[in-house]
């Protein structure tokens, strides 16, 4: 599925910062070798993740959903010199390949991979995060949010992917059979009702929600 008009996408990418050679390699590897390559953040979304991270300049980043490592490397671009990014995924099959990408990056000493169910791993992490990226199984988005919000610093940011789910959230009367569309719509409503955060949905690719923690 094309999320945006191809001509617009090419124009925007041409005028934005370029992918690094390693990110381009990951993009190409994922496209050729991995199931559902459209799950990759890609050039434009990757630059958005990098930009937000650079503005925030976080010490600690948490990523839920590693996939092939593209988004983790984009987020790591904004880390403080003594910063750390922890990325969690339950899929063991990509671990070695992704670890190789990380080892070859400029952030090899700053990225820690964890394999397991995020809802079990997160409570074991004794850190306060400045930036969180959620891009995993949609059914658990509300649970992920609830698990990370208390581990997020005041003024910290959560970025959530796929919140528009192919546009299907805009008309559930036609998409009730799509469980993920229902999950995402429920999550979006859940976030909207939370008065302790500021939130903004960006219609970028499959939808990004940017959440700012205002109160503990």
Per residue in 3-22, pLDDT tens? 667 898 889 989 999 999 99
pTM for the whole thing? 0.94
Residues 150-184 have pLDDT tens digits of 999 999 999 999 999 998 999 988 888 889 999 99
| Owner of token pair 């969180």 | 132
| Owner of token pair 């208390």 | 150
Q: Which two tokens stand for residue 68?
A: 């092939």
- Domain range 6-213, its CATH number among 3.40.50.150, 3.40.50.720, 1.10.357.140, 3.40.30.10: 3.40.50.150
Q: Which of 189, 187, 134 has the alpha carbon at shortest distance from 161?
A: 134
Contact 72, 87 (CB under 8 A): yes
Q: How far from each other are the two terminal CA atoms of the chain, in whole angstroms?
A: 39
Question: Domain segments of the chain: what residues?
Answer: 6-213
């Amino acid at each position: 599925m094309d999320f945006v008009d191809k001509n617009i996408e090419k124009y925007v990418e041409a005028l934005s910062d370029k992918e690094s050679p390693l990110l381009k390699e990951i993009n190409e590897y994922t496209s050729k070798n991995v199931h559902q390559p459209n799950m990759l953040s890609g050039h434009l979304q990757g630059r958005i993740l990098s930009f937000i991270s650079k503005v925030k300049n976080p010490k600690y980043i948490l990523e839920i959903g590693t996939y092939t490592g593209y988004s983790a490397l984009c987020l790591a671009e904004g880390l403080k010199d003594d910063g750390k990014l922890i990325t969690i995924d339950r899929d063991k099959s990509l671990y070695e390949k992704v670890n190789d990408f990380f080892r070859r990056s400029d952030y090899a000493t700053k990225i820690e991979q964890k394999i397991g169910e995020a809802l079990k791993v997160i409570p074991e992490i004794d850190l306060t995060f400045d930036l969180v990226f959620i891009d995993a199984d949609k059914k658990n988005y509300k649970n992920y949010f609830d698990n990370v919000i208390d581990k997020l610093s005041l003024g910290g940011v959560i970025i959530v992917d796929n919140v528009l789910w192919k546009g299907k959230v805009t008309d559930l009367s036609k998409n009730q059979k799509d469980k993920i569309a229902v999950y995402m719509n429920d999550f979006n409503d859940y976030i909207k009702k939370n008065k302790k955060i500021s939130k903004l949905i960006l219609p970028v690719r499959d939808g990004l929600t940017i959440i700012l923690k205002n109160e503990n």
